[in-house]
Amino acid sequence: MLISVLKENMAHWFHRNTLKNTVPVKFDELKRVSCGGDSNKIVGELKVTRARYVTLVSNHTSQADEVREAGLNYLSLLRGLITPPAEAAASSESKLRTLTTFKWTNSMGGKTPSIHADALFEVISVLVNLALWFTKHAARVSANDSITMDEAKEVHSSLKLAAGIFYCAKEEQAHLPAQIEKATDLDVRVIEAYLLQCQAEAQEITLARALELGHKPQIVLALAMDTHKMFENAAHSLETLEKLLVGKWRSYLSLKALFYQSYGYCFWGQQLLTEDKCGDAIAVLQMSKSLYDKSGKLCREYASAQGPGQAARPDRHPFYQKLGPMIIRFLEKANHENGFIYHHKIPEAALPPEYQDTFGLAKPEDFSLPDMSELWTPQAYSNFKSAVPSADKGATPSASKGASPTEEITPVAEPDIAPQFPQVPKTQSGCIIS
């Protein structure tokens, strides 16, 4: 049987921060030091490819392959602003790296941009926004009224690709020479949280499939506990950042961590029942119910929390609503069998889950920066005179600067992709079989 995950199983569980936005870059500083010929062509291509990338990534209706291709094309040109062509390398750093000033808003919201005169800042910003677009694409596909198996696979692959892009951004962030602003998209804690969130959400799809295909409790237990750990680690990555900026986001990650921990204990209890360990099963299922009740409180707190990001209502989600009755059903069965058959003593503490890790099922897709554009020949590079760093107010070479209080960039206009609730499906996981 093939699975199509119910739309609320995806969309209403997704917290999404805002896309980044930027201002047009004319690369006038590069043009001023260009001696013509091939170098002028590079300047023109940088301007055109950047504009195309920004246009596509700012549009929720863009095709995924076009967005990815536009990002890769622009990144291949940016490579020459960071590292010179091998044959022309007098040093490992391009003489053009700090010539152009770039400005980007941050995904935690707000109109005030970060400003850097560093092409590596541009690379990381492009990567982060590309990954964010694919997370939103996943949510958008899953919000369809009827989702096919191919669409479910697309959601899964989009989340894994986004995780791979965030990993690439994390690797590049380590090469920034300047002290960065905290709680921005350059902060490694923010990038790590995004990376783990993408992996965890992809793992949710794997878990939903395992439920519908009727896999053994041990498999569901392992998937649920690994998903719990991923969300928990993502939340921990944000715990030292300002609550006003990341509080709502972190609340989402925490409640999902708690929910999947409850799910894991539920199927751990079911597994113990199959092993005739009825007393232990009752204690474990009681723990599952306690965790579920706590997650319900977090659901309500999240729904009322202020902060960046589109809202979600997980407590109204069929996948969430079905877990509570499932726990109660298993617990009533365990109590009934213990009273009539086993007469086991119920331990005060629940037995910790025993399972084998399933890491790798939602492994990030391999993603790396593209090769340097073929336009960057040694001759083209030499046609640029030695550069003078950007004199743009608010940015200095290889340094991180905040924008002036009056400088603002209008956020990207984004549609509300939250779907309406359909009839609750009559399946164990809250999923639809196709």
Per the CB < 8 A criterion, the answer to whether 357 and 219 are in contact is: no
Of all helices (H) and strands (E), which one includes residue 400?
Answer: strand 400-402
Q: What is the pLDDT along the chain (434 residues), one digit of tens a residue?
A: 333 444 444 334 788 999 999 999 999 999 999 998 999 999 999 999 999 999 999 999 999 999 999 999 999 999 999 999 986 555 688 999 999 999 999 999 889 999 999 999 999 999 999 999 999 999 888 877 677 788 889 999 999 999 999 999 999 999 998 778 889 999 999 999 999 999 999 999 899 888 888 899 999 999 999 999 999 999 999 999 999 899 999 999 999 999 999 999 999 999 999 999 999 999 999 999 999 999 999 998 998 888 887 666 788 877 788 899 999 999 999 999 999 998 999 999 999 999 987 755 789 999 999 999 999 999 999 999 975 665 554 554 444 454 455 689 999 988 876 644 444 444 445 443 22
pLDDT at residue 160, as a whole number: 98
For the chain, give every domain's residue range: 3-410
pLDDT at residue 319, as a whole number: 72
pLDDT at residue 247, as a whole number: 92
Domain 3-410 falls under CATH 1.25.40.280: yes
Rounded (10°) CA dihedral 48, 49, 50, 55: 90
Read off the DSSP letter of residue 430.
S
- Residue 51's Cβ-side half-sphere holds a number of Cα atoms within 13 Å equal to 10
Per the CB < 8 A criterion, the answer to whether 33 and 381 are in contact is: no
Length of the chain: 434
167 backbone dihedrals φ, ψ, rounded to 5° = -65, -40
Read off the DSSP letter of residue 361.
T
Question: CA 199, CA 211: separation in Å to the nearest integer?
Answer: 19
pLDDT at residue 390, as a whole number: 58
pLDDT at residue 145, as a whole number: 65
pLDDT at residue 427, as a whole number: 45
Per the CB < 8 A criterion, the answer to whether 78 and 92 are in contact is: no
pLDDT at residue 219, as a whole number: 93
Q: Which of 347, 230, 340, 232 is nearest to 285 (CA)?
A: 347
Of all helices (H) and strands (E), which one includes residue 394?
Answer: none
pLDDT at residue 395, as a whole number: 54
Residue 157 burial (10 A CB sphere; 0-12, 13-18, 19+): middle
Read off the DSSP letter of residue 101.
-
Q: Which of 159, 131, 109 is nearest to 414 (CA)?
A: 109
Question: CA 432, CA 209: separation in Å to the nearest integer?
Answer: 10
Residue 310 burial (10 A CB sphere; 0-12, 13-18, 19+): middle
Give the 3-state secondary structure of residue 11: helix
For 271-285, the DSSP string reads HHHHTT-HHHHHHHH
